[in-house]
Structure formats: structure tokens, C-alpha cells
Amino acid sequence: MNPTDAAPVIPGAEPFSHAGSRTGVLLCHGFTGSPYSMRPWGEYLAAAGLTVEVPLLPGHGTVWQDMNLTGSDDWYAHVERALLDLARRCDEVYVMGLSMGGALTVRLAQRHPDTVRGIVLVNPSLVVEDYRLPLIAPFGRLAARLLPSTPGLTSDVSKDDTSEGGYDRVPTAAAATLPKLWRAVQQGMSGLRAPVLAFRSTQDHVVGPGSLRMLANRAVNTTVAIHLLHDSYHVATLDHDAPAIFAGSLAFVREHCESGEGADR
């Protein structure tokens, strides 16, 4: 997809970048979402002194039709470039992700074990939740011609008057590429060596408990700490438990940072 062919970026969905210390954090947003859902988290870490990057994934943050021209390979390649660029500027790098961004986060840690120091996940999507997806995956483009999109669940937030700033339609061709990403994540679990901090909402209308159950069972070469969120829905980074996520992720960086300069203490 040529970026010049995409529709204008939705206000608030722009990438976020902050130059701070030699400890960097890459934040990955979710499927049909945008940096809008991650910006408060990124700003919190930036205020603590970290270098922060929150990229906008291809096809996101504009109109859902743009997303049908992209897929999981494009999204992974985009965050991988952001990771390697951040690693050139920082001594240590952490990756954090929400929902499908959690799958991208885990995959980056699997593929770059010497680069990713630790990962933080919020309601990660790592397994098939909708069993129609594997059936349409081989016919993604054809299915998209017949049914370009389906109704989506956006802004799954318990706080009143809070929006995720994502699409309210699920682009069929783009969604059909998700099983490939999930399979790669599941097959690469033995290669995950970065410590994991994960947050799971007990009321999540998008992602069920299977993803973190799989992670806890298969991530045998690292440590996985899971914290439950009792006052948030799926987009917990914008919900009541957001302060606990932000503070917990910063404490996680400080705990694992070897340089000792990860953030102002």
C-alpha cells in the first residue's frame, strides 16, 4: 500500500514520538485501533524520562477501506522497523502492546531476543477467538469482494464518554490475515525469552482468557506475571485501570533496566 494513497489520518490517531533517555519503549496499538488508545500511556512513560515511539500501523487511523489493502505482514514489518530504529538510538528497548498489538509485541520479542529487554501486554490477542477467521483466511481477498467489512466492536471501555478512536467496521481481507500472525506467535513461544508483564481485564468483550492461558502454558523459557484488572473493559489503556497499567509498566522497566538510567526515579 502506498501511504500517499491513504485517506487523511483521523485527528488524534497520529504517531507519537518522544526523545528521552537511552532506554526506549515501543508501544503497539491494536487491530482497527490507532495510537489514540496508546498516547496517554506513551505520554506517561515519556514524562518519566523514557524514549517512546508509538507508530501508526499501515491501514489504520484513516478509513477502514485502507486497512483491506494491508495485512499482518505489513503491520509486523512496520513495528519491526520501529524497533530496530529505536534500538539504534537506545541501550535497552522494551515493547508493549494492546490487543493485536500484543501479538506483534510477542513476535518482536521472539524474533529479536537480543534486542527486546522485556514486554508488557494488555489484553493481548494471541489465539483464534472467532472460528470463522481460519475458514475465510485462504480466501481473504475473495471474501472481501463479497463482504468487504462486518460490524465491529470499538471503544470497549467502561468509562463514560470515552472513545478508542478506531474503526467501527472490521475489514474482512485484513482480518483474514490474523490467523497467520497468531500461528507464528504460538509456534515461536519457545523462543520467547524476555520477561513478560501482562494485564487482563476480567470483563473483556473482545478477547477471552485463552490468549494469556496459552502464553502462560507455552512461555517456558521466561517469566510471566499476570495482573487482573477488575474495573476496565478491553481498551484498558483508556479505562479506569489505566493508571495501574502505566505505573506497573514503568516499575517493570525500572526493575529490569540494567543501565540504571531508565527513568527519573
Dihedrals phi, psi of 187, to nearest 5 degrees: -70, -20
Give the residue from 121, 171, 165 showing the smallest Cα distance to 149: 171
Residues tagged active-site: 99, 204, 234
* Cβ neighbours around 7 below 10 Å, total: 11
Per DSSP, the three-state class of 3 is: helix
> What ranges in 56-162 are assigned the alpha helix state H?
64-67, 72-89, 100-111, 133-136, 140-146
Quick check: 6 and 65 in contact, CB under 8 A?
A: no
Could you tell me the three cell numbers for 238?
A: 483508556
Q: Is 31 annotated as a binding residue?
A: yes
Cα-Cα-Cα-Cα dihedral sign, residues 8, 10, 13, 17? positive
Q: Is 1 annotated as a binding residue?
A: no
In whole angstroms, give the CA distance from residue 33 to residue 16: 14
Cα(237)–Cα(212) distance, integer angstroms: 17
- Cα 58 from Cα 1, distance rounded (Å): 8
* Residues sharing a CB contact under 8 Å with residue 88, sequence separation 6 or more, in sequence order: none
Binding site membership: which residues?
31, 100
Binding site membership for substrate: which residues?
31, 100
